[in-house]
Structure 1
Amino acid sequence: HKSSRAVSGAFELSAQAVIVASGGIGGNHELVRRNWPERLGAPPKRMITGVPDHVDGRMLAITEAAGGRIINRDRMWHYVEGIKNWAPIWTEHAIRVLPGPSSIWLDARGKRLPVPLYPGFDTLATLSHIMSTGFDYSWFILTRKIIQKEFALSGSEQNPDLTGKSWRQVLGRATSGIPGPVKAFMEKGEDFIVEADLSKLVARMNALAGGEPLLDVAQVEREIRARDRQLDNPFSKDAQITALRGARTYLGDRLIRTARPHKMLDPANGPLIAVRLNILTRKTLGGLETDLDSRVLDAAGQPVPGLYAVGEVAGFGGGGLHGYAALEGTFLGGCIFSGRSAGRAAAGAVA
């Protein structure tokens, strides 16, 4: 449950070494907006949250007040495929869709995103483009056959086959239909719309977005038909279709990750599914400046005695190990390395 932050008393602990490992600022939308980088356009008016409530930057401020230096405040990594959790654990609890390559990606007005902003391609470039449209959300349109294979969800509770360490269940993704967690979102998630008819689908998309209807069914149909026509051409110049066909040359992707290419408007492949995609706060790439022993540095570049910082609160190491961007799958390494360095240095200092 979220803390009220109401002070009920005071206490003090003293230690020879303190290691700060409190995460970044993703749970504090006001702080995210305050530090939002100009290169990504105006900050979103509406976001959902990909980290627990306690990841709110409070320990960053406390450590700064104790003499630590925060650098690279505008380095951050947020996702564009966020959906609201129908069974939230924290405030505005968001789940990220980890998409395969087949869904058609439309902006708030129904225009297909430009090359190479396809599902699973370039997170920060897509974020920058979406914010340039003047809206803070976008849409996937896909089919039952696509969602069956291509929708994975972030979070341990959304992947019982992986957390249960069951190869049998993992291999079952190739044959068992729509995964249970995904099906639950289709039935209960507020961002999911399922309809057999495109005009009804678009009407419900407009209703979900609220306000003036932005989507025109004729425009959406043109975008989908233009994509579908490219499937008739074995030498298609549509870069997304080329990428889709390329992905299926790898056996693993063909079996459990990439749907067989098909036309979305063919009723045999339906029903159609629309998913509203929201901006999801996640990673803080800047933070407390540290040295190679994970010691927190002050404004003069000198270690603050007995103070260490590890993981995301230190920008995954040094105050910004990754720079302005990053590669998926590389964040945990900085946490492990900085934690190892801090543990060794702190143990040596207090021995």
Structure 2
Amino acid sequence: MQKAIQSDVLVIGGGLAGIVTAIECLRAGKTVTLVDRDTPERLGGLALWAFGGMALVDTPVQRRMKIKDSAEIALRDWLRFGELAEDDVLPRQWASYYVEHSRVQVYDWLTESGLSFMPAVNWVERGMQGNGNTLPRYHVVWGTSQRLTRRMIELMRQADTGNRLTVLHDHEVTELESTNGVTVGANAINRATGQHVQMAAQTVVLAMGGINGSLEQTRANWIQGRPMPASMLNGAHPYANGKLHHLVAGLGAQITHAGEMWNYAAGVPHPKPHFEGHGLSIIPCKSALWLNHRGERIGPEPLVVGFDTHTLCQRVAAQEKPYVWHLLNWRIAIKELALSGAEHNQRIRDHQTLMFLKETLFGNHRLVKQMLCESRHFLVDDTLAGLAAKMNALAGTHDVRADVLQKTVDAFDANFALGDKLYNDEQIRRIEHARHWGPDKMRTCKPAPLQARGAGPFMAIQTQLITRKSLGGLQTDLQSRVLDAGGQAMEGLYCVGEAAGFGGGGACGKRSLEGTFLPGCILTARSAARSIVAGSGLSRA
């Protein structure tokens, strides 16, 4: 028997953007149905597993660190680094909206909601020529994004006075209902029972995430002319597969910038995968050497993390084989190795302040040992010859010759023949630059020979490109209303978060300043809710 549900607002997708939309609509007195394809314990989507970094502008944390940021400076950085074209009108509008409102609509709103941020601001995506973030603005939620997401779920439940919220878990939306061009609801199927559910609503909000959870869609949308590796890992949510994007496009909506993606260059298979092809994103060590499949340093300009992820991904994708090697030693690993997400950042996630400080100051031996134990892609050996043998065994080849690996390391170590007097290496220069900023200095080694006495053993990590976020999506206006081919709002239909390319169908352009995703979800969701409550989405009421 078919089940029928009626509400003011139907939110499709239980990630951060969908939950925030529900919170704001419930607080305004609306009845809300939130339908999510995943299980109850995974409500929150990818945000539940994310690290929790946010690019925020002119915050109290920045001011305490004497960082003079402004919407004007941030917008200049954003447009330049993202390479937004002049005709990217809606993405530019959303970029401007973001930098102008991230302080009040995100930072202040979250702190008023009982969340807090770590006391230091990090400096990421500086740009290869200083054309990225010209100053630090990467804030980290204390408790990671897991704490953020669970707090949002708590607030959604608290806002549900009078049983005005219906949450449907494990339900897949199969079609949207429209009458005379007006969206009036959606149909779904209960994946556990097979029951069909008809959900009628005055307003439908799409919050289903991006497309990068489907490697097939990732490849189909890959921009022609950019190098694409033969294999990739999946670091996105597997249900963010683009199906609803195309369904809505069939009704007249516009998908733009679908080929722009925010992937990461250093992924390994997840030791405890949640789904097939699940990858784990490593935050690469700045001091590690990036090597090709033969153990030769990738060049002529060496690869180094923290400056331009977009370019880094393209250079990794252009390699002869779909994997690269990171060569480092124990000294580097315990200070610099980090993994993205809440799962492997338990000191921050669980508010373990003293242990976090201890591992930051004295080395995170725990994480290094954990990964060596859990992942076969992390290798260690006392000698470079022994390491080369293990690299070949893992890859199933004889590509890495011990003498070539030795020459690679010797060539790098030659920079230190007279201390710091003969530095002539771009990676060393970038490391020295990064270490001028205190938070980076705390977790970046002073440049030194890889073969320095007492720095071993040697380590190698085999990594490959891993998908993450979609930068494009459904085109929306500043009220998060979905637009048709003529630029007109489709009545009763909104889109928020990654599904909308974080606003306008691609607010970031080709590159993100990093940390623009969680705030983008919050900003687009709150904008949609304000419009709905004001009546823009309830014209049939």
TM-score by length of 2: 0.61
Q: Does residue 259 in structure 1 map to residue 445 in structure 2?
A: yes
Match of residue 206 from structure 1: 392
Deviation for aligned residue 1:275: 0.3
Q: Distance in 2 between matches of 1:25 and 1:186?
A: 32
Q: Does residue 275 in structure 1 map to residue 448 in structure 2?
A: no
Q: Distance in 1 between matches of 2:525 and 2:484?
A: 19
Q: Please identify, of 238-247 and 301-310, the stretch whose mean Cα deviation from structure 2 is larger.
A: 238-247
Per-residue CA deviations over 1:19-69 (Å, capped at 9, x if unaligned) read 11111112100110111112422x322111112221222221222233321
Q: Select the residue among 360, 364, 371 that pairs with 1:178.
A: 364
Match of residue 311 from structure 2: 125
Deviation for aligned residue 1:150: 0.2
Query: Residue type of the partner of 1:149?
Result: K
Deviation for aligned residue 1:4: 12
Q: Select the residue among 245, 250, 273 that pairs with 1:60.
A: 245
Deviation for aligned residue 1:281: 0.5
Q: Distance in 2 between matches of 1:92 and 1:118?
A: 26
Q: Select the residue among 429, 433, 453 that pairs with 1:242.
A: 429
Match of residue 295 from structure 2: 110
- Identity across matched positions, percent: 36
Match of residue 489 from structure 2: 303
Q: Distance in 1 between matches of 2:208 and 2:373?
A: 35
Query: Residue type of the partner of 2:200?
Result: S
Stretches (4+) displaced over 6 A:
1-7
Query: Residue type of the partner of 2:523?
Result: F
Residues 205 and 493 in structure 2, CA contact (< 8 A), matched pair in contact too:
yes
**Unmatched 5+ residue regions in structure 1?**
none
Residues 106 and 113 in structure 1, CA contact (< 8 A), matched pair in contact too:
yes
**Unmatched 5+ residue regions in structure 2?**
1-37, 40-169, 173-188
Per-residue CA deviations over 1:305-332 (Å, capped at 9, x if unaligned) read 1111111111111001111122112222
Q: Please identify, of 28-37 and 183-192, the stretch whose mean Cα deviation from structure 2 is larger.
A: 183-192
Is the alpha carbon distance of 1:91 and 1:181 closer, same or farther for their aligned partners in structure 2, counting shifts above 3 Å? farther
Q: Does residue 218 in structure 1 map to residue 410 in structure 2?
A: no
Query: Residue type of the partner of 2:428?
Result: I
Q: Distance in 2 between matches of 1:269 and 1:31?
A: 44
Q: Select the residue among 140, 156, 168 that pairs with 2:326.
A: 140
Query: Residue type of the partner of 2:325?
Result: W
Deviation for aligned residue 1:214: 2.0
Q: Please identify, of 169-178 and 310-319, the stretch whose mean Cα deviation from structure 2 is larger.
A: 169-178
Is the alpha carbon distance of 1:266 and 1:325 closer, same or farther for their aligned partners in structure 2, counting shifts above 3 Å? same
3-state SS, counterpart of residue 325 of structure 1: coil
Q: Distance in 2 between matches of 1:16 and 1:192?
A: 53
Q: Please identify, of 241-250 and 189-198, the stretch whose mean Cα deviation from structure 2 is larger.
A: 241-250
Per-residue CA deviations over 1:221-247 (Å, capped at 9, x if unaligned) read 111111111123423111112222333
Matches within 5 A, 1:15-94: 15-41=201-227, 43-94=228-279
Query: Residue type of the partner of 1:242?
Result: R
Match of residue 293 from structure 1: 479
Q: Distance in 2 between matches of 1:180 and 1:52?
A: 28
Q: Please identify, of 25-34 and 217-226, the stretch whose mean Cα deviation from structure 2 is larger.
A: 217-226
Residues 72 and 319 in structure 1, CA contact (< 8 A), matched pair in contact too:
yes
3-state SS, counterpart of residue 264 of structure 1: coil
Q: Distance in 1 between matches of 2:231 and 2:171?
A: 22
Q: Distance in 2 between matches of 1:110 and 1:225?
A: 13
Per-residue CA deviations over 1:197-224 (Å, capped at 9, x if unaligned) read 21121122122122x4222222221111
Q: Please identify, of 198-207 and 141-150, the stretch whose mean Cα deviation from structure 2 is larger.
A: 198-207
3-state SS, counterpart of residue 201 of structure 2: coil
Query: Residue type of the partner of 2:439?
Result: G
Match of residue 283 from structure 2: 98
Query: Residue type of the partner of 1:227?
Result: F
Q: Select the residue among 11, 15, 21 that pairs with 2:197.
A: 11
Q: Distance in 2 between matches of 1:116 and 1:214?
A: 20
3-state SS, counterpart of residue 274 of structure 1: strand
Q: Distance in 1 between matches of 2:369 and 2:491?
A: 52
Q: Distance in 1 between matches of 2:302 and 2:482?
A: 40
TM-score by length of 1: 0.92
Q: Distance in 2 between matches of 1:67 and 1:89?
A: 35
3-state SS, counterpart of residue 205 of structure 2: strand
Match of residue 315 from structure 1: 501
Match of residue 194 from structure 1: 380
Q: Distance in 2 between matches of 1:309 and 1:229?
A: 55
Q: Distance in 2 between matches of 1:58 and 1:267?
A: 55
Deviation for aligned residue 1:265: 2.4
Higher relative contact order (CA 8 A, sep 6+): 1
3-state SS, counterpart of residue 197 of structure 2: coil
The higher radius of gyration belongs to 2
Q: Distance in 2 between matches of 1:286 and 1:179?
A: 39
Query: Residue type of the partner of 2:355?
Result: Q
Match of residue 180 from structure 2: none
Deviation for aligned residue 1:116: 5.1
Aligned residues: 348
Query: Residue type of the partner of 2:268?
Result: I
Per-residue CA deviations over 1:315-351 (Å, capped at 9, x if unaligned) read 1110011111221122223222211111111222237
Q: Distance in 2 between matches of 1:337 and 1:223?
A: 47
Q: Please identify, of 162-171 and 219-228, the stretch whose mean Cα deviation from structure 2 is larger.
A: 162-171
Query: Residue type of the partner of 2:237?
Result: P
Q: Please identify, of 341-350 and 260-269, the stretch whose mean Cα deviation from structure 2 is larger.
A: 260-269
Residues 231 and 241 in structure 1, CA contact (< 8 A), matched pair in contact too:
no
Q: Distance in 2 between matches of 1:36 and 1:337?
A: 27
Deviation for aligned residue 1:181: 3.5
